[in-house]
Copies of this chain bind each other. A is one copy, B any other.
Amino acid sequence: MNAFEYAEANYETYVDQLKELLRIPSVSTLPEHRGDIRRAAEWLRDHLESVGLKRAEILPSEGHPFVYAEWLEAGADAPTVLIYGHYDVQPVDPLDEWISPPFEPTERGGNLYARGASDDKGQTLINIKAVEALLATEGKLPVNVKFILEGEEEIGSPNAAPFVRAHRDRLQADVVMISDSGLLAPGQPAMVYGLRGMTYLEMIVSGPRVDLHSGAFGGTVHNPAQAIAEIIAALHNPDGSVNVPGFYDKVRPLDPVECAELAKLPWGEEQWHEETGCAKPWGEPGFTLVERTGLRPTLEINGIGVGFFGAGGKTVIPARGVAKISCRLVPDQDPEEIFRRVRDRILALAPDTVKVQVNKVTAAQPALIDRKSPAMQAAARAFEAGFGAKPVFIRGGGSIPIVALFQEAMPGVPVAMMGYGLPDDSGHSPNEKFTLANFRKGITTSIHYLKLLAGSD
């Protein structure tokens, strides 16, 4: 039995193991789930050890820990691949929109529904299972392998930079493989060669000392809910572009060759409508939807909470409110500089009738990877073998802060983003799912990739 046959034979067991991991509610942003984060890390450490990896251990960081394991017996001539994934998940609210409970994995129509199924526990397990299948059938791996699994990806990896610097030697590799992205559409694999960076901030607007009666004081107090709206409305121009001085200054001009290639992608307004359900696109004029999600920076309002918004009415002038704002960044924007620019713009807009405070939440560098490197080409061939279709090369709109950190720690190392999710997996929404067919094909693809890296496929 070869590795591919072994993986096929054990597929049902793998799905059961994924369900076991998905039952642990490892929500990284909520302090009450700290124990669950720990449990998920321990589960993965034990699992990595059980499939035959060495030195499996939990490595502390300033926040939630990393999980590490390795197998380095392929010899000094064989390349070393660092495999990254994350075991933390997004919060589940609004809970009442879930069809089945988020931490009770449920199969429906060939999909496995659970928070973290696609982002990123299912994808992380794909690579562990590929290594297991190879070790179980061949007693060895074609390449040296290191796993590094993070517990704070969903909160912007605030402690990853010092961690990667502190463990630079242990993490050294010839190629990095990350599975935390997705296919372009069912049957159409995609290789992400660009990631947007991020600056996440919050704005707190304070007015009266306490909530006031809107009858007694309405008409004389600058309502913080209104002040928040006024400031937020002024952060975009009417045409949809961002109205923050200098915001676009360092954005690298688009490469016409790259844009022409991206224009051929089988994804446009029709797919956008299907995936969003929105009436009509919106955004920066002069750019296509693909360019706007992958190559251009954005400023998003992730939420506003101020005053009373339950059922019925409450006649209150709220004392304070908060808005959450995040910018997706592209090369060569600097997250710290953009934080300062947005903060300064907000403070310049702040009227003297209220108090406005701006706090930084997280920051991450954007990243671009050479899509012509041998490691990326090997990944492309692995996808073709696993899915029966050549992958398209795309720029991802999301942010994986650790990619830029790996590039800093290992200059020039290629980072192959081999993702198995689908655009409608709802990784940050209710009813997150992972397509089980992709879980299966992903394991095959991952085995092919490890062999191709060694030139043995």
Does A440 sit at the interface, judged by CB under 8 A?
Answer: no
Task: Give the shortest distance, in Å, between A13 (CB) and chain B (any CB).
Answer: 31
Interface hit among A38-46, A67-75, A163-171, A348-356: A348-356
For chain A, residues 362 to 421, give those with C-beta under 8 angstroms from any C-beta of chain B. Answer: 362, 396-399
* A220 close to chain B: CB less than 8 A: yes
Distance, CA A44 to CA B306, complexed state (A) = 35
- Shortest distance between the CB of A323 and any CB in chain B (Å): 7
Q: Say how far A367's CB is from chain B's closest CB, in angstroms.
A: 13
CB pair A211–B353 under 8 Å, yes or no, is: no
Q: Which residues of B contact A136 (CB under 8 A)?
A: none
| Residues of B contacting A93 in the complex (Cβ-Cβ under 8 angstroms) | 308
Within 8 A of B (CB), among A333-366: 351-355, 361-362
- Report A226-262 CB contacts with B as 1/0, cut-off 8 Å: 1011101110100000000000000000000000000
Interface window among A16-24, A120-128, A140-148, A422-430: A422-430
In contact, B398 and A313 (Cβ under 8 angstroms): no
In contact, A214 and B326 (Cβ under 8 angstroms)? yes
Contacts of A312 in B (CB 8 A): 29, 155, 361
A34 at the interface (CB under 8 A from B): no
Establish whether residues A322 and B304, one from each chain, have CB atoms under 8 Å apart when the complex forms.
no
Q: What string of 1s and 0s marks CB contacts (under 8 Å) between A132-162 and chain B?
A: 0000000000000000000000011000000
Interface string of A271-282 (1 = CB under 8 A from B): 010011111111
Q: How far is it, in angstroms, between the C-alpha of A303 and the C-alpha of B310 when the chains are bound?
A: 9
The answer, yes or no, to whether A1 is at the interface (CB within 8 Å) is: no
The answer to whether B284 touches A219, judged by C-beta atoms less than 8 angstroms apart, is yes
Check A305 for interface membership: any CB of B closer than 8 A. Answer: yes
CB of A449 to closest CB in B, whole Å? 24
Name the interface residues of A165-220: CB closer than 8 Å to any CB of B: 196, 198, 200, 202, 207-220
For residue A312, which residue of chain B has the nearest CB?
A: B29
Residues in B with CB closer than 8 Å to A352 are: 279-280
Chain B residues closer than 8 Å to A326, beta-carbon distance: 214, 313, 315
Stretch in A49-57, A77-85, A109-117, A291-299 touching the partner: A291-299
Once the chains bind, are B310 and A29 in contact (CB under 8 Å)?
A: yes
Query: Is the pair B29, A314 in contact by a Cβ cutoff of 8 Å?
Result: yes
Question: How far, in Å, is A315 (CB) from chain B's closest CB?
Answer: 6
Residues of B within 8 A of A47 (CB): none
**Residue in contact with A317 in the complex, picked from B213, B215, B300, B398, CB distance below 8 Å:** B300
Q: Could you list some 22 contacts between A and B, CB below 8 A?
A: A29-B311, A155-B312, A212-B429, A214-B298, A214-B328, A217-B293, A219-B297, A220-B282, A220-B289, A221-B278, A221-B282, A225-B323, A226-B236, A226-B301, A229-B232, A302-B313, A303-B307, A303-B314, A304-B321, A305-B309, A315-B326, A319-B429
Residues of A that sit less than 8 Å from B by CB: 29-31, 90-91, 93-94, 97, 155-156, 196, 198, 200, 202, 207-223, 225-226, 228-230, 232-234, 236, 272, 275-284, 289, 292-293, 296-298, 300-319, 321-324, 326, 328, 351-355, 361-362, 396-399, 423, 426-431
